Amino acid sequence: MMNFSILFDANYLNKGLSLYLSNANHTSDFTMYVMALDRKCQEKLNQIGFKNVVVECIEDVDDPELTKAKGNRSRVEFCWTCGSYVTDYFFRKYKLDHIIYLDSDLMFFSSPQVLQDEFYKKNASVGLVSHFMKYPLFGEYCTQYLYFKNDEDGSGCLRYWRDSCLEWCYSRVEDGKYGDQLYLNYFADRFKNVYGTENHGAGIAYWNMNNYRFKDGYTIYKGKKWPTVFFHYSGINMRVEGDELLF
């Protein structure tokens, strides 16, 4: 059983649906907790009525700290802030034994259970996915897939990420911070059992894909192969003109 946390608005609905459908195609035992960032998104999701999905709307969350954050940062920065906040919200409200934050622009090509098995084997309280390339501005790890176990270090780390983002989450580099992402660099300094996956088939994206070869559902890097788990479609947009889908 896997518990996922995801958030998006009506403008990202197509990506959120692709994420859900691709995961459901490979994984049956999961619950996806979705925080709609506007009413239109909430209504559409409720109309569709996917199974294994719990839908809530950020407009129903009454928290002065979140309201303050919404008033002093851009829309994108507020969405970044909400990632950690919403994950912690679902984690505690539903008393989950673990939770996995997902960026909404992912698509799965096999079950993420392989990542969970790796984290379990390593007794990880926190599981991270690297950029798998040198990326000083954005840090070693990417927020795309974050696992938190309901133990002292896992829940403590999630709350640290949440509180840090509420305090500061902006689209600029400042004092070792950038958005919600550079906080991940400090997880292992503050908490025990923080583990980064070795699976190069997780977090394939435009910034690392040219380092790999792909064959028969596997990602191959330096002679070793891993199951291709998900692609991160960061920065990729699409539109429909007539009958043509354009990227």
Helix (H) or strand (E) holding 56: strand 53-57
How many CA within 13 A on the CB side of residue 191? 25
Q: Is the pLDDT of residue 65 over 50?
A: yes
Q: Which of 232, 238, 206, 204 is nearest to 14 (CA)?
A: 238
User: At 135, phi and psi to the nearest 5?
Assistant: -140, 70
Q: Which of 110, 101, 114, 177 is nearest to 144 (CA)?
A: 101
What mean pLDDT is predicted for residues 132-155? 91
Over residues 179-222, the pLDDT tens digits come to 999 999 999 999 999 999 999 999 999 999 999 999 999 999 99
Residues 6+ apart with CB under 8 A from 56: 33, 34, 35, 36, 42
Helix (H) or strand (E) holding 161: helix 152-167
Residues 6+ apart with CB under 8 A from 146: 87, 100, 101, 126, 127, 128, 129, 184
What mean pLDDT is predicted for residues 63-86? 97
Over residues 31-57, the pLDDT tens digits come to 999 999 999 999 999 999 999 999 999
Q: pLDDT: is 240 or 26 the higher one?
A: 26
Task: Give the pairing of strands 177-178 and 173-174.
Answer: antiparallel
**Residue 242: pLDDT band by 50, 70, 90 thresholds?**
low
What Cα–Cα distance (Å) separates residue 59 from each residue in 83, 132, 161, 170? 15, 36, 22, 21
Q: Quote the mean pLDDT of the chain.
A: 94
Residue pair 93/160 in contact by the 8 Å Cβ criterion: no
**Residue 241: pLDDT band by 50, 70, 90 thresholds?**
low
pLDDT of residue 245: 38
